[in-house]
Chains A and B, each alone.
Chain A
């Protein structure tokens, strides 16, 4: 850690990990509800567990992105953060808002929560991933604006690197497209159309800029490869992200009452969306291969390579599987979508966040370069357990999705939804078991922060 104010990142990272644990616990509840339908009913109905699962994911990723920004932007800009106190204040506001929202989901019925938070004044609730009460959404906007002001001023007074500018651009885009969450017309087609301006333009657009900037930063640090080379790669990758991904939004506009011509635009452009992910994989492996130093933080490098591979598989390959409109006609809104969503989010956004945390946390905790071997080995175990179990979760859901699509939509005698669900029960059980293995991996991950901290550490060696 080069600048004192970077230390604010630590708060964000700790909260991110805590919310990650909550996310996985509620994921396991939902997974069990798929096979034991009345589990925790009606105390925690499925929709509540799902809201907690998806909303804690979004919040902890935002926490990790903010923590990453507070860490890497001062270091890149070669100056202290503009207002460290503001970053700390915003952290507590954000955490309190997130905690209150999750408590609201669990303690009240959703309709009571809507009434309590006066949803009727500006109705924004009850849409997938945007379930937060309007007041929470406004809170998110305030926190993000203060955050953007803080990092923007830091960049202004310091060195302007490409990584910093791309990180800032991604985060500004995140804020701008979130504003569409306040637009909620009665017209369902229009509602859905602009809902994707938040959801797609986040995860298949501006978030990938944030991902790219974080990956480039970690790679510069652990490989020592020349910044010019890494930033050139970064520009090409994110250029391809937006060139394919902006019009690629069209793959969500096949069946929601939007015009037929979106089938062509969506299919052609989204079919190219794996290209930037493949380039990212080549990029990460190339840089590590050409490394100029032997950085002792092996596990950060492992996460960085892991995210490059798993983002390509999850977002690229599993996205491509069902992105062409003739295929999507049968798979839209089935377990295929769930399979893709799980591996894509884990591969792209969870793993890059953990790569960043893995790189920065030892430094934030006062070590010179990396965690001791004992801690790193444990973290590597957690890497493999979580990653392999996520591969299996994805494979099981894909199996479930193929059968579901066939039985419910392709076969000559289409069966009702609930009948089909019983037919594919076995896959849901297997998914739940894989989920338990994921939890074990997560427990080891948390444990890795508490072992071997008194042992001596290795130093960065030139190669």
Chain B
């Protein structure tokens, strides 16, 4: 590297560049927040099912569902995508509830199986409402690409 380019210049590029792009990230974050209401399906959270959805999210987290599944493509890659499971199951919360409730406690020989969580009906409904809410988030290009997730 040419001697004309000193360490002090490199340092200034680092501090100046980092500061500029961090401020740009903050600006884009403010714009993102402003755009959220048109995409994030907050109507569902503020509607009559809001409490149930919040309860569903708590159950989703406290049973570490993300440890096997993806949700909007994020999580583990061991089990199916669940952001569109509501549509995949024919727009039916009952189908989701039935599936979760019917998992065998000892698994399926030789195959991957979802654990039996022993949820009661209220909890099953909350989880299903949570997944319905997520399926109605407006994602770019309506990701996932198709019904299979």
Contact = CB atoms under 8 A, between A and B. Distances in A.
Interface of A: 30, 33-34, 36-38, 41-42, 45-48, 50-51, 110-111, 114-115, 119-120, 123, 125-128, 131, 162, 184, 186-190, 192-193, 228, 231-233, 235-236, 238-239, 242-243, 246-247, 249-250, 253-260, 262-263, 265, 329-330, 332-335, 337-338, 408-410, 414-418, 421
Contacts of B45: 186-187
A303 B9 CA distance: 30
Contact of A110 (B32, B53, B63, B148): B63
Nearest to A325: B140
Given A48-B67, A235-B7, 20 more contacts: A38-B111, A38-B113, A41-B115, A48-B64, A50-B76, A110-B67, A123-B58, A125-B61, A127-B61, A128-B74, A239-B10, A242-B21, A243-B21, A246-B18, A246-B22, A253-B32, A255-B143, A257-B72, A417-B80, A417-B149
Nearest to B42: A187
A128 B81 CA distance: 15
Contacts of A37: 107-108, 110-113
A133 B31 CA distance: 32
A260 B140 contact: yes
The interface size bin for chain B is 35 or more
A124 to B, nearest CB: 9
Interface of B: 1, 5-7, 10-11, 13-14, 17-18, 21-22, 24-25, 28, 31-32, 35-36, 39-42, 45, 53-54, 57-58, 60-68, 70-81, 105-113, 115-117, 133-134, 137-141, 143-149
Nearest to A422: B111
B11 to A, nearest CB: 5
A1 B86 CA distance: 61
A162 B7 contact: yes
B127 to A, nearest CB: 12
B142 to A, nearest CB: 9
Nearest to B23: A246
B112 A254 contact: no
Contacts of B6: 232
A338 B76 CA distance: 9
B14 A242 contact: yes
Contacts of B28: 247, 250, 262, 265
Given A188-B40, A189-B40, A110 B107 contact: no
A45 B79 CA distance: 12
14 contacts: A33-B112, A47-B76, A111-B62, A128-B76, A189-B40, A192-B72, A239-B10, A243-B21, A254-B143, A256-B73, A260-B140, A329-B141, A333-B75, A410-B145
